[in-house]
Homo-oligomer: A and B are copies of this chain.
Amino acid sequence: MSKLTDLPKRILIGRALRSDKLGETLLPKRIALPVFASDPLSSVAYAPGEVLLVLSVAGVSAYHLSPWITVAIVVLMFTVVASYRQNVHAYPSGGGDYEVATTNLGPKAGLTVASALLVDYVMTVAVSISSGIENLGSAVPFVIEHKVLCALVVIGLLTLMNLRGVRESGTIFAIPTYAFVGGVCVMIIWGAVRALAFSGHMKAPTADLTVHAEVHGIGGFAMLFLLLRAFSSGCAALTGVEAISNGVPAFRKPKSKNAATTLALMGGLAVVMFIGIITLALYTHVRMAENPATDLLRDGHPVGSGFTQDPVITQVAAAVFGNGSIPFVFLSAVTALVLFLAANTAYNGFPVLGSILAQDRYLPRQLHTRGDRLAFSNGIVLLALFAGLLVYLYGADSNRLLQLYIVGVFVSFTLSQTGMVRHWNRHLATETDPATRRRMIRSRAINTFGAFLTGLVLVIVLLTKFTHGAWVAVLGMALFFLLMTGIRRHYDSISDELAAPVPGQADDDLAVPSRVHAIVLVSKVHKPTLRALSYARLFRSDTLEALSINVDPAETKSLQDDWERHGIDVPLKVLDSPYREITRPIIEYVRAQRRASPRDVISVYIPEYVVGRWYEHLLHNQSALRLKGRLLFTPGVMVTSVPWQLDSSERARKRLKRRHEWSAPGSVRRGQIGPPRKEPRAKEPVAGE
């Protein structure tokens, strides 16, 4: 690519990174914040609205309870941030919740966390993209009119981008995230100024509507339940907080300290934005309802299904900046962009978690190698399919999708924090230095409180949301759990079956064969055959013969003539096949040989063409492949492919090489692939894959 065309790309997405160059490009805090915080920060785009929305069930009067809910969420946010700061220090390898739970609570807990996280990644994509579409739709009506279609298109684009392996840099995250944070902060400040100084009449677009309360005179237990449900929904603001704890290795030194600082910064920003947005929403009289068509009333009449309920953040922006103004459109756009970036983080996280799970033999071993394109592709496509299905089924309605979210997040929060408590207990048992002990006891206290509070929230979320849709998430987790347990059980049983015998002990399966019979399969005297013969001859096996199948006597005759003409000194055996089969006569011949001398081994050489174009595969090697498939089932046989590279194979070789140099998306978030985890593992993984 010429320098000229490269330039705009570099400006757009910053310096390209290759995974093997990654060691040199660790993230400073100012870049790490946007890279890891797009997910948690973007959730303030929908979390405040959810609180109002649930409260509206008891009418607008219930909105006055929202500050209390906000306080509870802020307390929770600080607790979770404080807890994860402990994780970051204790697990600088970027292990994440799965590792913390597995190491401290055992594999079952770890697998539960993994299942929860897998569901969570799917939900992150579905919720973030739906919410992004809704925010964009506040400024661009077309988008909201074709909501599901637009959401699916964005999922498709993200999937393509990630499959192609876009080389990303910190900058691509930094610009939209800082624009979003800056925009929201300007909005909050400008709103405050207008409210205080000018006592201007800031009114949200829905300020004139009234809310039809579904229940009147609610009180006692029912009111408490509603409050708890509003709180559960607001907890959506917490999603993604754990991301930094997975990314410690990507930070500059001192890694843990920098990560902890970034975590605190992120928590602070999230809290400020959350409080600011919900305060302005109350001040500008934003009205939200779970079923806007029937429960929002204009002059006493329901607004009807033609009404679009805009997200709280754009309603506030409309009130502060004016509907359709440039800052309003700007904020809608960057909000949508940050939400799409948040979805993109799941595209990075899903395959990485898959690779860790594969290493522990909970998923197919081929997902194991990080940075392997195929492993990533499978994960990415799977994630996109799940998320696309959810978006389609739930009509890209972020409110309905949010009912499924959060469960998984709090399952992993709770188990991770509980695991941390165990972690400190274990270390305290041996630690003697008083200063360290003090620090550990303090950390344990924080994690204990974190575990307690997140556990409590988990119970609340399950109680208040189970019938509203959380059961789908629980079901998804259970399915992932069962699948992974089954795969692990399979690998374990294979591992037992294959275990090497105790050294020195005899094993019938491993009896050393006494002689080797070599058979070269030939169909014609051409270069691949000649090469296979000359390679086979190199091995000085005990016997060597060429084998051909007589499918067409004319072809066979010409083979025999060529054989003589070329003076090939290997005996040529021709098997008859009156029914024009190829595989069966060869298999029967090999089996007969084995029966005659069971202690020998048979080595079959197959000349194979190596071709370059996909359709050439359909035209060549199919019989050889099938024959090989059947030969491998015959004990005491080994099969050697002697390749002949056709001219066209060169293009395929280059394509394969290019694929291999592909850099996995999300590599910037993972940092240097550091020394592997040092925690003891339950069992050595099966290494043969």
Q: Cβ of A632 < 8 Å from any Cβ of B?
A: yes
List 14 other contacts, CB 8 Å, given A490-B619, A503-B566, A639-B641.
A491-B619, A494-B646, A495-B526, A497-B647, A500-B526, A509-B527, A523-B687, A552-B685, A554-B684, A607-B688, A620-B689, A624-B689, A633-B649, A633-B652
Write out the residue numbers on chain B whose beta carbons fall within 8 Å of the beta carbon of A495. Answer: 526
Q: Which chain B residue shows the least CB distance to A579? A: B371
Show 7 residue pairs from A and B whose CB-CB distance is below 8 angstroms, ordered by the A residue: A365-B622, A374-B626, A490-B619, A498-B646, A512-B534, A529-B688, A555-B685
Q: Is A258 an interface residue (CB 8 A)?
A: no
Partner of A581, one of B369, B512, B601, B632: B369
Among A491, A607, A633, chain B packs the most CB atoms within 10 A around the CB of A633
Q: Which of A511-541 contact B (CB under 8 A)?
A: 512-513, 516, 523-531, 534-535, 538-541
Question: What is the bound-complex CA distance between A456 and B531, given in angstroms?
Answer: 56
Contact in complex: A497, B622 (CB < 8 Å): no
A554 & B640 in contact (Cβ 8 Å cutoff) = no
Query: In whole Å, how far is A656's beta carbon from the nearest beta carbon of chain B?
Result: 6
| Cβ–Cβ contact A535 & B601, under 8 A | yes
CA distance A647 to B635 in the complex (A): 12
- The interface residues of chain B lying within 8 Å CB-to-CB of A566 are 500, 503
* Cα distance A649–B497 in the bound complex, in angstroms: 13
Assess A629 versus B601: contact at CB under 8 Å? Given A681-B554, A688-B529.
Answer: no
Q: Which 6 A-B pairs have the closest CB atoms?
A: A524-B687, A366-B622, A523-B687, A632-B643, A633-B653, A640-B640
On whether the beta carbons of B494 and A507 are closer than 8 Å, the reply is no
User: Which residues 82-118 in A have Cβ within 8 Å of B in the complex?
Assistant: none
Expressed in whole angstroms, the minimum distance between the Cβ of A166 and any Cβ of chain B is 19
Distance in angstroms between the alpha carbons of A501 and B566 in the assembled complex: 9
B656–A687 CB distance below 8 A: no
Closest to A371 in B: B579
Inter-subunit contact B552/A527 (CB<8 Å): no
Q: Is the CB of B633 within 8 A of A584?
A: no
Which residues of B lie under 8 Å from residue A584 when comparing CB positions? Answer: 660
> Which A residues contact B (CB, under 8 angstroms)?
19-20, 359, 364-366, 368-372, 374, 487, 490-491, 494-495, 497-501, 503, 507, 509-510, 512-513, 516, 523-531, 534-535, 538-541, 551-555, 558-559, 562, 565-567, 578-584, 601, 603, 607-610, 616, 618-624, 626, 628-630, 632-633, 635, 637-647, 649, 652-653, 656, 660, 673, 675-676, 681, 684-689
Q: Are A364 and B581 in contact (CB under 8 A)?
A: no
Give the residues in chain B near A620, CB-CB below 8 Å. Answer: 365, 494, 688-689
Given contacts A540-B540, A541-B539, A633-B649, contact A364 B641 (CB under 8 A): no
Complex CA–CA separation, A610 to B638 (angstroms): 12
The count of identical subunits is 2
Write out the residue numbers on chain B whose beta carbons fall within 8 Å of the beta carbon of A629: 656
Using Cβ atoms and an 8 Å threshold, which residues of chain B touch A673? Answer: 578-580
Whether A516 pairs with B538 at a CB distance below 8 angstroms is yes
- CA gap between A620 and B366 in the complex, in Å: 8
How near does chain B come to A51, taking the closest CB pair, in angstroms? 44
User: Are B689 and A621 closer than 8 Å at their CB atoms?
Assistant: yes
Q: Give the distance in Å from the alpha carbon of A633 to the alpha carbon of B499 in the complex.
A: 33
B residues near A368, Cβ cutoff 8 Å: 551, 580
Q: Are A552 and B507 within 8 A (Cβ)? A: no
Q: How far is the CB of A589 from chain B (nearest CB, A)?
A: 14
Contacts of A553 in B (CB 8 A): 675-676
Which residues does chain B contribute within 8 Å of A513, judged by CB atoms? 534-535, 538
Asked if A490 and B616 sit within 8 Å, CB to CB, the answer is yes
User: A632, B608: Cβ atoms under 8 Å?
Assistant: yes
Specify which chain B residues have a CB less than 8 angstroms from the CB of A624 in the assembled complex.
Answer: 689
Cβ A641 vs Cβ B632 within 8 A = yes
Contacting residue for A638 out of B516, B530, B643, B652, CB 8 A = B643
A558 — nearest CB in chain B belongs to which residue? B684
With contact pairs A516-B539, A524-B686 given, residues A676 and B552 touching in the complex (Cβ less than 8 Å): yes
Contact A618:B364 (CB < 8 A) given known A523-B689, A529-B688, A534-B512: yes
Residues in B whose Cβ lies below 8 Å from that of A364: 618-619, 622
User: What is the minimal beta-carbon distance from A669 to any residue of chain B, in angstroms?
Assistant: 15
A632→B619 contact, CB < 8 A? no
Please give, as numbers and ranges, the residues of chain B lying within 8 Å of A359 by CB-CB distance: 552
CB contacts (< 8 Å) of A552 on chain B: these are 359, 676, 685
With A366-B623, A555-B685, A688-B607: A498-B527 Cβ-Cβ less than 8 Å: yes
- For A538, give its contact among B523, B601, B689 (CB under 8 Å): B601
Give the chain B neighbours of A498 by CB distance below 8 A.
Answer: 526-528, 609, 644, 646
For the complex, what is the distance from the CA of A101 to the CA of B34, rounded to whole Å? 73
Given A531-B510, A538-B601, A567-B503, A609-B688 contact (CB < 8 Å): yes
Determine whether the beta carbon of B633 is less than 8 Å from that of A637: no
